[in-house]
Amino acid sequence: MPWNTIQDYINDPAGFDAHHKQWVAQGGDMEVNDEMAYIETERAMCHDCGALEGELHEFGCDMERHSECGGQLISCSCVYKELGLYDHVKYGPETSFLPPEVYKHGLSEEQEKRWLEILEEKGRIPWIQYPNICVKCGALWPVMFAVPNEEWEKYVEPAVRGGMLCEPCYLWIKGLIDQYAGSA
């Protein structure tokens, strides 16, 4: 049975489930429950620096995470705290409370070397590719789609807004909520 509207999904939830599994399979994704013993035999490679899973990124790679804050290493401000560069007395907001030369030109070679030493002392995070997973059905690597923020906040509960939904699950949720709102 073809599903042309969200109402078709709502009227036939069992059919939706079967259709959704077929949709996921056709997209090259796999269902978590179907492949619980699946082990990747080839390590994925970082698209930026070429590190293989389990290896450290090249210093400066935009995919490396900071072990302290969890943010993107090349853009987190922890470096300025660790090197003692922030000074709210000496410097103003126009330089983000940093020495003007650091604000304008970045770290010196000596500062960058010290930052790398600090990172290695504390431990850098080896690269592992973690999949995107639909928080509703568990599909791996769902195709990304976009909706306006206002719409996302209307249909997706706060606890899962930071996660990912596959499009069929999002449309199903949206349809249920709209159907309920229309019958209330």
Rounded distance between C-alpha atoms, residue 77 and residue 65, angstroms = 12
Buried b (16+ CB within 10 A) or exposed e, 1-36: eebeebeebeeeeeebeebbeebbeeeebbeeeeee
Query: What are the structure tokens assigned to 37, written together?
Result: 């013993």
Q: What is the mean pLDDT of each run of 10 residues along the chain (184 residues)?
A: 43 52 48 45 88 94 94 93 95 95 95 95 93 92 94 96 95 94 71
Per-residue pLDDT at 43: 86
pLDDT on residue 135: 95
Q: Please give, one letter per residue, the 3-state secondary structure of the chain.
A: CCCCCHHHHHHCHHHHHHHHHHHHHHCCCCCCHHHCCCCCCCCCECCCCCCECCCCCCCCCCCCECCCCCCECCCCCHHHHHCCCCCCCCCCHHHCCCCHHHHHHCCCHHHHHHHHHHHHHHCCCCCCCCCCEECCCCCECCCCCCCCHHHHHHHCCHHHCCCECCHHHHHHHHHHHHHHHHHC
Q: What is the pLDDT of residue 1?
A: 38
Cβ atoms of residues 72 and 65 within 8 Å: yes
**End-to-end Cα, the chain, rounded Å:** 29
Amino acid identity of residue 100, one-letter, is P
Residue 182's pLDDT is what? 75
Q: What is the pLDDT of residue 9?
A: 45
Per-residue model confidence (pLDDT) at position 42: 78
Distance CA 45, CA 39 (A): 16
User: How far is it, in rounded angstroms, from Cα 112 to Cα 95?
Assistant: 19
Q: What is the pTM of this model?
A: 0.62
- What is the rounded CA–CA span in Å between residue 90 and residue 92? 7
CA distance 1 to 43: 40
